[in-house]
Each structure stands twice: as structure tokens, then as C-alpha cells.
Amino acid sequence: MEQAVIVHLRLDDEGFGSDEKRESINELQDELADAIEEAEAGEFDGDEFGEGECVLFMYGPDADALFDTIKPILKKSPHAKGGFAIKRYGEASDPKAKEVKVKL
């Protein structure tokens, strides 16, 4: 079963964010991807920018282990302020999959 952690970060405008903000979030993504790979907790699968937020998608066999891997990185990142993560315990196609929202 594939579980997920989906992180929502606020941008500095109501669109796609400034060039500087996007570049800085891309650096954060690299750090998250490296940590996930090193911990063998799953994979970083990409992002979506728009409507004033950036959404980061990560998948693995255990949403809690995946979140525990990225939590220290998010805690020290200024991008996480005001954001949140969704830990999903099940497939995206499962409407009964439990989800837990965590404020960052």
C-alpha cells in the first residue's frame, strides 16, 4: 500500500510566487528529496505551484516514517510557516483512506 505526505506551503503572492520564492522552494525540495532517499522512506514526486501556494508530493510505504524524515527540514525552513501537511494512510484512489492534517 502506498501512503503519502502532501505539504502545502504559502507563497508570497496569490499566483505562482516570486522567482526568488520559487527558487528557494526548489532548494528546499532538493533537501527533502535527498533526506527521503537517504532514509529509504519513499520518494519525492514533485510539486504544483499556483493560487498562492506550492504543494509538494511525497510517497512511501509509511506516511508517519516519511513525515518524521522531512519534519526536521520543514521545521527549520521559513517556507513552512503558515503551511500544513496531510499524512494520507492509503491510496489516493481510496475514498476511505484516513488523512491527518499537521500544522507546520
- DSSP calls for 39-51: HTS-EEEEEEEET
The model carries a pTM of: 0.95
Asked if residue 1 has pLDDT above 90, the reply is: no
79 pLDDT band (50/70/90 cuts)?
very high
CA torsion angle for 42, 43, 44, 46 (degrees, to 10)? -130
Give residue 5's pLDDT: 98
Output DSSP code: residue 79: G
98 backbone dihedrals φ, ψ, rounded to 5°: -70, 140
**Which residue bears the cell 516570486?**
18
Contact 41, 60 (CB under 8 A): yes
pLDDT (average), residues 38-65: 97
